[in-house]
């Protein structure tokens, strides 16, 4: 998410208030009341649950048994939350609102990204789907959660990253999900 317009708006509002201008004079009388215009800006800026509001520290998580590696923001996904089938680890945010699973499973000799995905019976309502000979990436909504799955295929293993996060914070997560996805590697 690009925070520049929000930061600019909040800075201008703070300067105006400091200079003696009353907040209600910033909103045209026929426009929406101040509480519907300015207060949501402060609420968004102050939201501690949003991914982009935190300074990010990235760590490479590796599964030595399979050669899987992926960069994850350890400052966001700070809590270990169990292990998936096969090899890997699940992490979640401190407040439990988002999680990431890094997982590797053995690959059957004839398995392709398309057949692997089809065998898992993905929902018909997938919003984003990309399938190539070496990987697939899919994403959609489940109630108020965005889910994103990417699996890369190597000779012996399927290397996957699965991410779930609040739909209302989707823009804040876009860059994070992209970096995680593109960093997924496997031997």
CA distance 127 to 148: 10
Judgement on whether residues 95 and 153 belong to the same structural domain of the protein: yes
- What is the Cα 135 distance to its own chain's centre? 19
Q: What is the pLDDT of residues 89-133, one digit of tens each?
A: 999 999 999 999 999 999 988 899 999 999 998 888 899 999 999
Q: What is the pLDDT of residues 171-185, one digit of tens each?
A: 999 999 999 999 999
The number of folded domains in the chain is 2
The confidence score (pLDDT) of residue 110 equals: 87
DSSP state of 156: S
Judgement on whether residues 124 and 41 belong to the same structural domain of the protein: no
Judgement on whether residues 16 and 98 belong to the same structural domain of the protein: no
Judgement on whether residues 26 and 59 belong to the same structural domain of the protein: no
Judgement on whether residues 34 and 63 belong to the same structural domain of the protein: no
Judgement on whether residues 94 and 129 belong to the same structural domain of the protein: yes
Judgement on whether residues 152 and 115 belong to the same structural domain of the protein: yes
Judgement on whether residues 42 and 66 belong to the same structural domain of the protein: no
Judgement on whether residues 135 and 102 belong to the same structural domain of the protein: yes
Q: Taking the model in full, what pTM does it have?
A: 0.71
- Extract the tokens encoding 92: 């979640």
**Residue 187 banded pLDDT, cuts 50, 70, 90:** confident
Percent of the chain with pLDDT over 90: 65
> Which whole number is the average pLDDT over 160-172?
97
Judgement on whether residues 109 and 138 belong to the same structural domain of the protein: yes
Judgement on whether residues 82 and 106 belong to the same structural domain of the protein: yes
CATH of the domain at 170: 3.40.1000.10
Structural domain boundaries, residue 12? 4-46
> Closest Cα to residue 49, out of 177, 171, 166, 184?
166
DSSP state of 76: T
């Amino acid at each position: 998410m690009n925070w520049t317009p929000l930061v600019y708006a909040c800075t201008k509002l703070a300067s105006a208030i400091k200079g003696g201008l009353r907040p209600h004079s910033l909103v045209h009388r026929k426009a929406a009341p101040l509480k519907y215009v300015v207060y949501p800006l402060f609420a968004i800026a102050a939201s501690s649950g949003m991914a982009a509001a935190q300074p990010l520290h990235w760590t490479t998580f590796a599964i030595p048994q399979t050669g899987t590696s992926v960069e994850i923001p350890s400052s966001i996904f700070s809590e270990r939350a169990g292990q998936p089938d096969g090899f890997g680890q699940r992490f979640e945010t401190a407040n439990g609102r988002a999680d990431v699973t890094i997982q590797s499973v053995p690959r059957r000799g004839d398995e392709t990204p398309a057949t692997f995905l089809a065998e898992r019976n993905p929902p018909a309502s997938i919003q984003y789907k990309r399938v190539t000979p070496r990987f697939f990436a899919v994403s959609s909504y489940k109630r108020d959660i965005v889910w994103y799955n990417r699996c890369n295929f190597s000779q012996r293993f399927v290397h996957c990253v699965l991410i779930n996060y609040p739909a209302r914070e989707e823009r804040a997560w876009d860059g994070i999900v992209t970096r995680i996805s593109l960093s997924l590697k496997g031997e």
